[in-house]
Chain A
């Protein structure tokens, strides 16, 4: 019953319709408005444009104060973590949008993928490409298996939000400490080149980081195109909008849900391996990634896959820029600040229009 696929709290559906009607009334009533209110109105009507304008302004201020080279270099560094956040966020947001499941175990999916890649890449001495593929397949399989044994039965029983949240937290603990049980707490490294760098337009970037950015962007653009143009992508967005309605139009929802988990798991696995390749592996890595990924999801509008892609990249860059002003120890705090600010100012995300938050 929620507009634009956002689930609403019991009984607020009617209120929203009322609210929407009232808003239409106020817009009509405020014909003679001050320039400031008009600016605010137009900012509300064109959120993406406003976000771009704000971003542009920030970039100009940053360049003026820190110089172009510094700003560009940091942005480039941010693109690498940003594409990892985006890959994690797109899966989390799809699962949320389609299944209304806030999966607190999603971060640990990333860790799972990274450790699976480690098995192939380091324990068995295989090439990293094989490790990436194995990590993706294994995590996708994990996602599908959990859907079968946990989430589908719980949905059938009409489980509530709290039940699902706590189950996903339980699952997160099982995965995280399962990893710790087998792999221990020590930091581990994937067998990748960490020293070579690439020079590009006077900017320096690690070879691995550059590969991460390329893989991340290719996958993300591919996902964007898939969601926009393929039948499966359209079906996914339809389910995300309204599952019951999608089902009545004859969409095979079970099939779409299956592919949603394959995508969410596969991308989580990929993101985990990429993160592991640029940093190090440890069992807690999943939880450390979960909150920035949530922030990216919220930034892009929860349930909105395109938004999550943009939100992830943006967040990665913003966090990296923040290190020009604050100690890098505060890095993750910047992610939380962004998250909390977005929730306060614009809980529906930069691109969202729904008012059901």
Chain B
């Protein structure tokens, strides 16, 4: 009888643990990604719209180190973080001197330049085919965790469940560390820079250096998010790193609320659950239309959120960077 209904809701996958594991991994990856945006936008007042570019550099460097250079996965990751941070330094030095909107434009341009490089520098990045074959080291860790899960009494653990555990352990750990760092003198200077750069300078703080540090750390977080994205997909292709990823991160950021690290995880979770949950609403339209509709709703939500509750769920209005 379901055919007769214009709108039907199917709960077949709703109870599937596999489905929710995937949603959880994506939300965890986005949490790490968006923590960097929170540090930049929420606490330093710099509009980094190139986070997807940093994530791409992190993921690609790691994959290239493992597959081409033959480095161990565990060495490749910290190296890739360093590479990404170096890029952030190069991007930040000229662009952080610019006004807020110029910075937004130039970081988007940077992120697109990275994606186009990934697409065109085929010898290094595999072009549109991307890179795969870097997951061996992770697979063995995953097997170990699966063994623990079995010994805990879960007879047939979900294949991706170990990744789910690790991504959330890392995400919560980073959230904890960052919110602690925010209460140090360093964190207070960041907020001073956000509130009034000139005043911070007048107090003898090198505001520019703090902005650079903020961007470099955010890039490192982007790289870590990139590793999890890569492990989740078990390959990487340029399309994954489009600016839309950054825009999604911003949506989660403002949903959770600016200047609140714990809000990031909650924003990411709610956002992903709603976005993926929309899959269960079966409309009598094609898949392309449904995919389009999800983004229309996302765009509308972003507009309404910014218009009526710019501080999000847990943000404080007095801590919003209003700019001029």
Give min CB distance, A322 to chain B, whole Å: 13
Give the distance in Å from the alpha carbon of A15 to the alpha carbon of B99 in the complex. 15
Could you jot down 20 A-B contacts, CB within 8 Å?
A11-B199, A12-B198, A160-B321, A161-B321, A162-B321, A163-B306, A163-B322, A167-B303, A169-B302, A173-B299, A177-B294, A184-B288, A294-B105, A295-B109, A302-B101, A327-B120, A332-B112, A332-B116, A336-B110, A336-B116
Inter-subunit contact B324/A9 (CB<8 Å): yes
B183 at the interface (CB under 8 A from A): no
Give min CB distance, A297 to chain B, whole Å: 9
Known: A9-B99, A163-B322, A177-B294. 18 other contacts (CB 8 A): A10-B324, A150-B307, A154-B307, A158-B322, A160-B322, A161-B101, A162-B310, A162-B321, A165-B104, A167-B306, A170-B302, A173-B247, A180-B291, A302-B102, A330-B116, A332-B112, A336-B109, A343-B94
B196 at the interface (CB under 8 A from A): yes
Give the distance in Å from the alpha carbon of A357 to the alpha carbon of B101 in the complex. 10
A8 at the interface (CB under 8 A from B): yes
Give the distance in Å from the alpha carbon of A260 to the alpha carbon of B101 in the complex. 20
| Chain A residues close to B by CB (< 8 Å) | 7-12, 15, 100, 102, 150, 153-154, 158-163, 165-167, 169-174, 176-178, 180-181, 184-185, 287, 291, 294-295, 298, 302, 327, 329-330, 332-333, 336-337, 339-340, 343-344, 347, 356-357
Which residue of chain B has the shortest Cβ distance to A7 in the bound complex?
A: B324
Inter-subunit contact A181/B98 (CB<8 Å): no
Inter-chain contacts of A333 with B (CB < 8 A): 112-113, 116-117, 120
Inter-subunit contact B289/A181 (CB<8 Å): yes
Inter-chain contacts of A357 with B (CB < 8 A): 98-99, 102
B192 at the interface (CB under 8 A from A): no
Give the distance in Å from the alpha carbon of A165 to the alpha carbon of B199 in the complex. 26
Inter-chain contacts of B289 with A (CB < 8 A): 181
Inter-chain contacts of A329 with B (CB < 8 A): 116, 119-120
Known A102-B104, A162-B47, A180-B288; contact A173-B110, beta-carbon cutoff 8 A: no
Q: Which 7 pairs across A and B sit closest by C-beta, in order of nearness?
A: A173-B299, A160-B322, A161-B323, A170-B302, A174-B299, A177-B295, A170-B303
Inter-chain contacts of A10 with B (CB < 8 A): 196, 323-324
Inter-chain contacts of A165 with B (CB < 8 A): 47, 101, 104
Known A174-B296, A177-B299, A295-B109; contact A343-B198, beta-carbon cutoff 8 A: no
Which residue of chain B has the shortest Cβ distance to A181 in the bound complex?
A: B292
Interface class of chain A by DSSP = helix
Give min CB distance, A44 to chain B, whole Å: 17
Inter-chain contacts of B41 with A (CB < 8 A): 162
B169 at the interface (CB under 8 A from A): no
Inter-chain contacts of A102 with B (CB < 8 A): 101, 104-105
Inter-chain contacts of A154 with B (CB < 8 A): 307
Inter-subunit contact B288/A162 (CB<8 Å): no
